[in-house]
Structure 1
Amino acid sequence: MTTLPIRTPTVAHSASGMETHFFVRHLWLPLACVLLASALLMGAGGDQWIADALYRLEGGHWLLKDHWFTSGVIHRVGKWSSTAAGVGVLVLAIVAWCRPRLKVLRWPLTYLTASVAMSTSLVSLLKSWTAMDCPWDLSRYGGTQAMIGLFESRHGIAASGCFPAGHASAGYAWVALYFCALALRPAWRFAGLFIGLAAGLIFGVAQQLRGAHFLSHDLWSLAVCWVSALALYCVMLQRPRRALGLTLLLGDVE
């Protein structure tokens, strides 16, 4: 009786190549873009150039700081809306775990809930650790503080904790929809990404118009949200799927 050889090394090599390609596109390339943009914004003065332009357009003061639309609707209502959406996803996840016919949604919804919570929590934690002022705190924009860089000593000067951008993270946290869709229905992944990016941009631009953040603050908020969403995807969704797929492949070649 002739036995066909098991092609395990070929399968493993193929899986390894796909994984490398995945991380190049989803981690290393985005990270390189963030570092390049940060060099332009934080190192070459891009942050101040943009803030200067906005400050001039608003008449030499932050005209939209307390405006009903930027402060009331986008900031306050936007925060409530993101929180409500997170609670809604949590409820859906609980329902999925209680109903067998929704089994396929259990881990994706659990992942989405955990990712949004972890992303916003990490940004809040970083804000408490980093000593960065908001534009409206700086003497350059009508405040009282001198401009001090992220890695410069403050010599006991209190900071506002403005880095990364907290409110923008309430929008950017939803980039996790990309990975949720990647696990459920890959054709929808870019629609999910668009939702997260659009929400973060709306929240972030509104805060910049109020003088609450520089563009780099929003950029790093997005970076934190993206990396945390990617990390949780690898642990909660990709690894179980990859293990199942490899098991099926090995079963086919035995």
Structure 2
Amino acid sequence: MHAFRSPAISSPSRLFFWSLASLLLLLAWDASGLDLTLARWFGSASGFALENHWFWRGVLHDDMRPLPWLLEGALLIGIARPVGTLRRLPVSRRVQLALTTLAALLVVSDIKLHSHSSCPWSLQEFGGVASHVSHWAWGVRDGGDGGCFPAGHASAGFAFVGGFFAFRHVLPTTARRWLLGSMLAGLLLGLAQQVRGAHYMSHTFWTAWFCWTTAAGLDLGVTWVTRQTSQRPARPQAEVPGH
């Protein structure tokens, strides 16, 4: 019997719709100016009072930094030695899960490397030296250190959204749980950076979108290859000449 697949999560057209809808919402957020509004909730001319708070920095930032790489290592090992729910995935989907997570982390890191957008705590308004410049103003420097867009720390949660795409073909319920867990983790880590002045909220939202689209693109590729392989006719076995 084939595993039950909910149309809500198995249809490429629905995935495309949600990807496009979230993109439009993100662009609307960027145009709204809400980034600075939220930053002012936590920051003042003296800076951000919670920047070095034991919980927001110590627990949700410093202690969390090695976690995504440890989990990624476990996923890579799980390709050959799966445990728990990973055993329910075919090898191709275990490879997809591990590589999608790694790809999402690298995509976010690469965009940050080429970004001239500085963090909120670097703005003159909050005691820094930079001016506020849109993160889409590529090539325009704001007078600060740059390298702040998108939110790298939040990718420690959002990068694992690839589990939704890997599991949706086999275990839809597990896929939904994986999606919820990775999104909540990313939002929590993004909130920690928001209150510290390390990122704007849009940085967190864009990280989620980059991770989602990276995972969706790889899922389409793996699914296409899998279907092509399964539909390929088997080679007829050569007859063994009689003695």
TM normalised by structure 2 equals: 0.81
Equivalent in the alignment of 2:24: 35
1:176–1:196 CA contact under 8 A, matched in 2: no
Q: Distance in 2 between matches of 1:155 and 1:199?
A: 31
Q: Aligned letter for 1:45? A: G
Q: Deviations over 1:39-96 (max 9, x none)?
A: 23x212111111112326xx96312211222112111221212211111111111225
Q: Distance in 1 between matches of 2:120 and 2:130?
A: 9
Q: 2:178 aligns with which of 189, 192, 212?
A: 192
Q: Distance in 2 between matches of 1:67 and 1:156?
A: 27
Shift of 1:149: 1.7
Query: Greater helix percent: which structure?
Result: 1
Shift of 1:234: 1.2
Q: 2:122 aligns with which of 123, 137, 144?
A: 137
1:139–1:146 CA contact under 8 A, matched in 2: yes
Q: Distance in 2 between matches of 1:156 and 1:33?
A: 28
Q: Distance in 2 between matches of 1:24 and 1:233?
A: 14
Q: 2:208 aligns with which of 209, 222, 229?
A: 222
SS at match of 1:166: coil
Q: Deviations over 1:232-252 (max 9, x none)?
A: 11112x22454477679xxxx
SS at match of 2:150: coil
Shift of 1:29: 2.7
Unaligned runs of 5+ in 2: 1-6, 234-243
Q: How many residues align?
A: 220
Deviates more, 1:204-213 or 1:142-151: 142-151
Q: Distance in 1 between matches of 2:40 and 2:218?
A: 38
Equivalent in the alignment of 1:51: 39
SS at match of 2:133: coil
244 and 205 in structure 1: CA distance in 2 versus 1, 3 angstrom threshold: same
Equivalent in the alignment of 1:15: none
After superposition, the CA RMSD in angstroms is 2.5
95 and 35 in structure 1: CA distance in 2 versus 1, 3 angstrom threshold: same
121 and 48 in structure 1: CA distance in 2 versus 1, 3 angstrom threshold: same
Unaligned runs of 5+ in 1: 1-17, 97-101, 249-254
Q: Distance in 2 between matches of 1:158 and 1:205?
A: 22
Equivalent in the alignment of 1:125: 110
SS at match of 1:65: coil
Q: Aligned letter for 1:43? A: A
